Amino acid sequence: MKKIFETNSPEETMAIGEAMGRAAAPGEIVCLNGDLGTGKTVFTKGFAKGLEIEDHVVSPTFTIVQEYHSGRLPMYHFDVYRIDDIDEMNEIGYEEYFFGDGVTLIEWSTLIAELIPTRVKKVLIEKAPELGDDYRRITITEPDF
């Protein structure tokens, strides 16, 4: 199933993330892709809100993964942009996150494509310069369970 949304502000993108977070189930994996600065982290902040996470969500760029435990379900937020070697994923024990009871969000998941299970939700965020700086097209693809 594929849905396309168009937003014109970070708040609108957050609201889409929030709705997805509200509906999130244990074990869910959400792959976030799109160029730098398109709104993957903004979307994740909304998602965290939907999970009722109270902590401030920060980009985990230098730690690869950031865990949040104050919400309805644990949330594991990966950003693998700076990974040089897939072994770094093994070192942090990614399987415990991906196949656990929390919800995993992965920014730049295509960089670790070989580790991504087949049944995941995919969020692609794209700009369209001719439609303004704040325009984003968000394509959400969900597996048919």
Contacting residues toward ligand ADP, per CB under 6 A:
7-10, 12-13, 34, 36-42, 107, 134, 136
Cβ atoms of 65 and 48 closer than 8 Å: no
Burial 67-77 (b: 16+ CB within 10 A, else e): ebeebebbbbb
- The residue within the footprint of Mg ion, chosen from 24, 28, 40, 75 (CB under 5 A), is 40
Q: Which does 39 bind (CB under 5 to 8 A by kind): ligand ADP, Mg ion, none?
A: ligand ADP
Q: Does 121 contact Mg ion by CB under 5 A?
A: no
Q: Does 45 contact Mg ion by CB under 5 A?
A: no
Cβ atoms of 47 and 56 closer than 8 Å: no
CB of 1 to Mg ion, least distance (A): 25
Q: Which does 9 bind (CB under 5 to 8 A by kind): Mg ion, ligand ADP, none?
A: ligand ADP
CB of 8 to ligand ADP, least distance (A): 6
99, 101, 107, 111 alpha-carbon torsion, rounded to 10°: 0
By Cβ distance, which residue is nearest to ligand ADP?
A: 39
In whole angstroms, give the CA distance from residue 1 to residue 143: 6
Count of residues near Mg ion by CB under 5 A: 4
Residue type at 140 in one-letter notation: I
Give the 3-state secondary structure of residue 143.
Answer: coil
